[in-house]
Amino acid sequence: MSRTTAAGLESLAYHLTQLDGAALQALVTTGGRLGLDVVTGEDWALLAGPRSRLAALARPWTAPESLVELAAALGHALPGDEPLLWQTAGGMIALDRPVLVGILNVTPDSFSDGGRYATVDAALGRAEELLRDGATILDVGGESTRPGATPVPVEEELARVVPVIEAVVKRFHRSSQSVPSVGVFVSVDTTKSVVARAALDAGAAIVNDVSGLRLDPALGGLCAERGAGLVLMHSRGGVGDMASLEHAHYLDGVLAGVRDELAGALARAARAGIGAERIVLDPGLGFGKTPGQNVELLRGLGALRSLGRPLLVGPSRKRFLGDLTARAPEERDLATAASCALAWESGARLFRVHEPGPARDALAIASAIRPR
């Protein structure tokens, strides 16, 4: 598949090769119905039309069976509409190159590093390591979402995250440049508006809501009021079961389900008054998805770019990587790095990881080979 564009025009043209008869016939029928121009040969086709109509074809979950593979490839090939800047309460973050989000869990029961950074001193030491190894954002979380996790009372979550955020912001003070070359942006990983407000007061610039504004109706309004950057992650269920397989049934397939439910999260954010420029989307790898569904989601990640917002992925040390590699959580950083590089190829811009070093190196190569 190759692409040509006419400068300054919205129309795109693709040369499709190695197509069988069934795919050619379906392409003529489906493309015509969508108002696309289709010219075919023995095993090839020229496909042209407005980007919006091509995007309607690039949906594997609605395509005829003979066009599913082509539709997925077209989704990867279409240029994204997502911006190269992300507005947060602490300024703009440039997304023209990979951005690493370092995980700083301050919980006693996280699946990978529970209890290791539960004190302020330990958290500060870990923050310094994450920044040294390439993280731009530190994501501080005080409530585990591992399978079977018990929801944490507000007071306890506040006691865990606020002192750490205050200490990190004080230690790694960032200048007021719109795109700083040094320092750190702090994100709070919470579903609770009370915790988010206290975190923003302490210096956080971003709210990472793994519920996609489902669990606390007040959280959206708070983010709008404070101008916070917002990560909307796809998940189902509550904190205690969203990482289980209880909600892993997707009637029209995982790609269609995740896309539609992220679109719903975007609608909730819009109703709350949050500007689109402040939103990043996370497909929620490992949350309510079987190992096979996680692989399918990574393979088809480019289809989510049609939502028009930057994509963040968090494959770090997830169970599906363990299923693929037969490695324990702490041994999955190379698999995580490979997943991040593949996700960059599909259009992801931000990468949430436990160990930035391996991911940084993999993404440096991926972004040099395939700049976006």
The active-site residue, picked from 126, 197, 309, 318, is: 318
Please state, in angstroms and rounded to a whole number, the distance separating the CA atoms of residues 249 and 274: 30
Of the chain, the end-to-end C-alpha distance in Å amounts to 17
Contact 324, 338 (CB under 8 A): no
The active-site residue, picked from 278, 305, 317, 352, is: 352
Contact 34, 225 (CB under 8 A): no
271 is catalytic: no
Compute the Cα dihedral for 103, 108, 110, 115 and give only its sign.
Answer: positive
Helix (H), strand (E) counts: the chain: 12, 14
What burial class does residue 265 get, using C-beta atoms within 10 Å of its C-beta: 0-12 exposed, 13-18 middle, 19+ buried? buried
Please state, in angstroms and rounded to a whole number, the distance separating the CA atoms of residues 196 and 220: 10
318 is catalytic: yes
Please state, in angstroms and rounded to a whole number, the distance separating the CA atoms of residues 333 and 113: 13
**Separation of CA 156 from chain center:** 28
Please give the positions annotated as active site. Answer: 318, 352
